[in-house]
Structure 1
């Protein structure tokens, strides 16, 4: 459990260290590192991906691992759509809504069947993947870039799982549900254009 808290601290430090450039790739960037940093430096991506891990942990087995597996798999499909420049409307709205809906699912302790939770997570994963794919630098190796953003996404899910593990205790469940509420509020701020 010690390594997960260390990883969480490292990811939070990386997320807070620089400006939010997840949607404005500039400068020399290509391959794995660019893909890895892409979701981490965009707070809208971070909160939604942490929410997936939180919700999975709150739902417990098998969702604790199922949701964080579904998200990157479907996200990779969305990334392929973005790389292929397939027209996909309202991407930023979908990303913001993902934080709102996933945060509310945690805040209100929504416990649907696994297939429903996986469908919700998968639907939003397409938006996140599409954004990553369309913003891949032209000089980047698509496979390395995709591998980077999928691994970073998995690490963000693990951060959510680590925090969500607190839900096993009554006071921890209150904290986790409160975190869901904060994620939903942040998503609402993105949706309204405040952030």
Structure 2
């Protein structure tokens, strides 16, 4: 049953990829929902947050994804206010690299370190989402990208929780983290 739910969540998350970035002529909720699903950088970072959070103890399991979504909305708000963030694309690419490394090394940072780290990277993602908004309503667009982000976090979380606690599964998780980190390094031009 868990595997069917995880598969359904993955397929639902992937279905929007074909709709994202067509020129941003569609305004509102649907374009906001499609944006995180269509860019490999956003997609991997948000799946990685869920994968990472699922392996953390206690409240970190929900606080990291929730903190990401809230900080991402704050980043969009900064964009709406005209506040520029430096190196937004590099910040997004760095998030892919760092989240991948956290998974690859099975890191367990204290919440006092991991939450600000996740939130700082989320500001870049939110700022980029706002920059791609076009003439859409900020509220509808933000609702769309926040919901898509939660779906991606949930998908990553379910994948991680679905995998058994065996050495083989741990190796697969670490390999996935290394793949995500490698993609981040390529995006950074490292």
Give the equivalent residue in structure 2 for 1:187. 184
Give the equivalent residue in structure 2 for 1:146. 142
Residue-pair matches, total:
187
Report matched runs for 1:1-195 at 5 Å: 1=2, 2-15=4-17, 17=18, 21=21, 26-138=23-135, 140-165=136-161, 166=163, 168-192=165-189
Change in Cα spacing, 1:13 to 1:36, as seen in structure 2 (3 Å) is: closer
How far off its partner does 1:61 sit? Answer: 2.7
Contact 1:83 1:136 in 2 (8 A): no
> Residues of 2 paired with 1:185 and 1:147: CA distance?
31
> Residues of 2 paired with 1:63 and 1:26: CA distance?
37
Contact 1:167 1:176 in 2 (8 A): no
Compute the TM-score of the two structures, normalised by the length of structure 2.
0.92
Q: CA RMSD in A?
A: 1.7
Contact 1:40 1:46 in 2 (8 A): yes
Contact 1:35 1:145 in 2 (8 A): yes
> Residues of 1 paired with 2:123 and 2:7: CA distance?
28
> Residues of 2 paired with 1:182 and 1:75: CA distance?
24
Q: Which runs of 5+ in 2 are unaligned?
A: none
